[in-house]
Amino acid sequence: MRKSYDVVIVGGGSMGIAAAYYVARSGHSVAVLDRDTIPNETGSHHGQTRMMRFGYSEGESYVPLVKHAYALWRELEQESNRSLYVQTGALLMGSVGSDFLNEVLHSSTTHSLPHEVLSASDIEERWPEIKLPVTFNGVLDTLAGFLLSEECVQAYKELALELGVDIFEQDAVLNVNSVAEGVEVVTEQHSFHAGKVIMTAGAWTHKLLPEVEMPIQPIRKTIAWFEPKEENAFDSSTFPCVVFNTSFGLYYAFPDYEGAGFKIGRHDGGQLVEPAQLNRTFGAYEEDEPELRQLLDVHVPGAAGELKRGAVCIYDQSPDEDFIIDWHPSDQRIILAGGFSGHGFKFASVIGKILSEMALDQPLIHSIDSFKLSRFK
């Protein structure tokens, strides 16, 4: 028997489950379909924490989005009665005069964000655990911190369920087809009819909509938690989130939160993969641990203790590393969102709101012109 909804959402990760909440809050019927559980460890939202930065190295055009996202995360905390955000500040470091730091400064000054510019010696005096060459400086984004990523997804899920959203977990979508009276979505276990479909399937989107030229590359990425050599030296109550733009890679790291360890990942690099064939075992590639330790050994040696655990996630990366948010080129009843390129989670709240507005034909709170597919033609 075919199930009918105003909106069906394919993919219940951070963007999809947020969109479900905002659509349902507008009084419409919603179903969320996911090949796994919600939350899960097979997409891009797991790993305990996700950084939230305001002075944005990826471009100052993102700052209004991140400000709105922050307001919606705070609203979600109130609605769900959960603590979801930990403000630690974020220290972004790189060579003096580098494009990376120049863009952070441009974003911060253009949008009047509170920030401090620090020399290498300033940084080492304040945080002796960080070791930098004299050619480096940093920008401290004082509003920044981290979101508890699985907690955020769980909060949206619980609120969506309270609003009557139907969630179908561990039921992989097989086909998404335009039909005369709407959109048909077929899964391994069910058949659905929708007035609108929101596609937030991450790296699986191009498999489900092969007719759409979605230039998304799935990339295998690793993260790891290390035991600090000195107890409490990297505690989240005193140590900020950090980003290092080095000659050997762009790295991000989190302070030790609730004893989990010092978390580190590398933003660039990684291995091109097919999602269904992704090797999710940390250490399966020879470089998994050594490339993370390289940053620790050079810049944060006090955090380079024993490996506590490692994890694998997947980026759905666009060619320019900017998001893809658009309507299907031949059927505007299907809405596309992907290519979040490893820096999308912090925006999930506001993007979920935008996707709900697209599905409900409402005015958009932010323009999506710079995220449309047409920019690749």
Which residues are known to be catalytic? 46, 49-50, 263, 267, 313, 346
Q: In 10 A of CB 155, how many CB atoms? A: 22
Distance of CA 225 to the CA centre of its chain: 18
Question: Distance between CA 117 and CA 218 in Å, rounded?
Answer: 35
Task: Look at the alpha carbons of 167, 72, 237, 295 in this order and tell me if their dihedral is positive or negative.
Answer: positive
Q: For residues 14 and 45, what is the distance between their CA atoms, to the nearest angstrom?
A: 7
Phi, psi of 199 (to 5 degrees): -100, 105
Whether the Cβ atoms of residue 104 and residue 56 lie closer than 8 Å to each other: yes
Say how far residue 340 (Cα) sits from the centre of its chain: 7
Rounded Cα–Cα distance for residues 238 and 228 (Å): 14
- Strand, coil or helix: 65: helix
Helix (H) or strand (E) holding 348, with range, is helix 348-359
Q: State how far the Cα of 7 lies from the Cα of 198, in Å rounded to an integer.
A: 7
Strands 90-95 and 241-246: parallel
